[in-house]
Structure 1
Amino acid sequence: MKNVGIDIIEINRMQLKPEFIKRYLSQEEWKEFQTLATEFSKKQFLASKWALKEAIYKALPSEHLVFDQINITENEYGQPTVKIKDYQISLSLSHNQTNVVAIAICH
């Protein structure tokens, strides 16, 4: 059985407050976030991580997931990847200048 989670978020709704950011980014993601130069790139990065983690949360409703403990990376093709326990999770992310949409499929 496959579980699917989907999330969409408006980029400009993201808040650049450190107390908000640190609750939702892993330590590795936080380091990457700090290298971003523009306000928009920071908001887009946060929206992407948020949408992916929300989609994962929806695909794994029985798991107790803590967002800052989920580390989303990219593979050699730029596709988002994640490792949570023994789950095989496929992720997809798309965005434009306004919105980010993420899909997580747990196999």
Structure 2
Amino acid sequence: MGVLGIGIDILHLPRLKQVLSRRPDRFLTRVLTKAELVDFEKLKTELNGDVDHDKAIRFVGVRWALKEATYKAMTPRHKLTWQDVTIYKDQGKPCLDIPEKEKFGIGTAHCSVSHDGEYLVAQVLFESPELPSQHPHNLP
């Protein structure tokens, strides 16, 4: 395994809240994929339609920061867009879905998010694809 790229992003959540207060629909459709928008709408339903609720801001913030970290991990090799990456949860852990990751030369993707008070930090690490002959079980 080789490291293809690593990226990190920090986000001040009140800044995101301010951006969302101006034109939330335009911002959300630009940044979130269709699958993420479906998850966001489910969350909004749970929050009685409140986009300003802390959970809603954190939901968008996690996706924003992970996508920024992803972009940084792949630059200058590839310039991924907001719509190239979908963030989802698997057993409570954030995960990245990049449908054409092989096209971008990405093997395994790892990500982590942490938040404290008004700040959220996200980190992404991409491994290079492992060639079959590099696997330890294929050694002579």
- Per the normalisation by structure 2, the TM-score is 0.70
- Select the residue among 38, 42, 63 that pairs with 1:35: 42
The alignment of Structure 1 onto Structure 2 pairs a total of residues equal to 106
- Select the residue among 91, 95, 108 that pairs with 1:81: 95
Task: Give the CA deviation at 1:64.
Answer: 2.5
Match of 1:96 in 2: 116
User: Does structure 2 conserve the Cα–Cα contact (< 8 Å) formed by 1:7 and 1:51?
Assistant: yes
**Could you report, residue by residue, the CA deviation over 1:74-93 in whole angstroms, capped at 9, with x for unpaired residues?**
112x1111133132110000
Question: Cα RMSD between the aligned structures?
Answer: 1.4
Superposed counterparts of 1:1-107, under 5 Å? 1-2=2-3, 3-14=5-16, 15-16=19-20, 17-36=24-43, 37=47, 38=50, 39=52, 40-61=54-75, 62-76=77-91, 78-84=92-98, 85-86=101-102, 87=106, 88-107=108-127
Higher helix share: 2
Counterpart of 1:42, as a letter, is A
Larger Rg: 2
Ranges in structure 1 where 5+ consecutive residues have no aligned partner: none
Distance 1:33 1:68 in 2: 15
Task: Please list every run of at least 4 consecutive aligned residues from structure 1 whose deviation after the TM superposition is greater than 4 angstroms.
Answer: none
Task: Give the CA deviation at 1:57.
Answer: 0.6
Ranges in structure 2 where 5+ consecutive residues have no aligned partner: 128-140
* Identity fraction in percent: 31
